[in-house]
Each structure stands twice: as C-alpha cells, then as structure tokens.
Amino acid sequence: MQTDQSPYVDMSASDLRLTLLADPVDAACFHVLEAERLEANGLELEARIIGASHWITFRTPQNCVHELFSCHEAVNGKVLSQYGPLKAPFGPVESLVMDEMEYSFHYRIASLKALDPEAREIREAALQAADRDRQTGLIYDFPAQDGLPAPQTIVWACLDPGLLKLATIHSYPNEEALVITHTRIITKLDGRAPQS
C-alpha cells in the first residue's frame, strides 16, 4: 500500500468514464502511481493506478486491449469503445467481442459510509493477493483533506487459464461514494469465447 504526498484534487464519481483502447498507448501520458504485472498461460496483465483512476492492459499472443476508467478523456491510443461519464449512466457492457477476447464490464455506486460488504471483500482480496498465485492487488491512499477519510483506489486482478477477473474500488470521500467495478475477459485460448 502506498500513500501519495502530492496535493489531491477532489473529483466527482459522476465524471468517471470507461474507455477501451488499442495499442499503441503512450505510458508517458499518465502519472502512474502504482503498477503490477502478471503473466500466466500465454496471457499478460498490467494493472496500474493512475490518480484516482485505473489503467489495465490485457495481452494475448495476438491482441492487446487497454481499459481506462478515469475522470479524464483518453489522451492517446486508438479508441475502440467509450462509455459514460457516469453522470449519464450506462448499463453493463456485456459480451463485447474484440478479436479473440470477450469483454464485459459492470459498475455500481455505493455509499462510503455503509461499509459495503462487496467493497470489503475486494479490499481483502487485494491485501492477500501477494500470497496467491496468478493474483495481484494494488491499494493506493491519497492525502486526506478537510477531516475526510483518505481517498483510495484499489485494484484486484486474477489470471486463470483463458480468463481475466478484475475488481476495483474508487472512493470519493467528498461525495461519500464508492464506485465498484468488475471486468471479465474470456479468450479463445481455452475455447470458451465465442467465435468471431
């Protein structure tokens, strides 16, 4: 777990948007605060916390997709799809097929004060990920402001054969809100994804 000492600027959960990008994406355009990489069974995952946002790269031998969930527009890379911002709510992104990948994304907004059980489960999984095969967990605390809890971003990811599971939490103490996301990518590497 890391803590950022740079000034934190309050953002709004309603400004978050989901953008799917194709390579190349210039990493120099992002302020990466924490990152981890996983490789297993021909799949590769790079998980990054960028500000109060996340940027995930998922690679197979033939393809690469970037998931950017951020309050800012994508600054580089070829945009495959874009959803949001959350102030214009969008439903689940299900069964989006990109080459040999089947992608799905779900989000929900919860109360920061309610001690959401799903948020607790994701945080615990992120804390324990270092002790488990094919898992990674990132937790990043930003400086607390005005007596509020510290804003926090949490990313948990697991690579199984032909399958990526990802869960994230973005907290907005200024709005007493949590945004919880789940991503699943199935690949044809194990025959489960549909034929294009």
Report pTM.
0.88
Contact status, residue 30 vs residue 50, Cβ threshold 8 Å: yes
Q: What are the two backbone dihedrals, phi and then psi, of residue 101, each rounded to the nearest 5 degrees? A: -115, 140
* pLDDT of 3: 39
* pLDDT of 189: 61
Q: Alpha carbon 80 to chain centroid distance?
A: 17
d(CA 167, CA 125): 9
For 121-150, write each residue's pLDDT tens digit.
999 999 999 889 899 999 999 888 888 989
Confidence of residue 6 (pLDDT cuts 50, 70, 90): very low
Answer with the residue of higher pLDDT: 10 or 128. 128
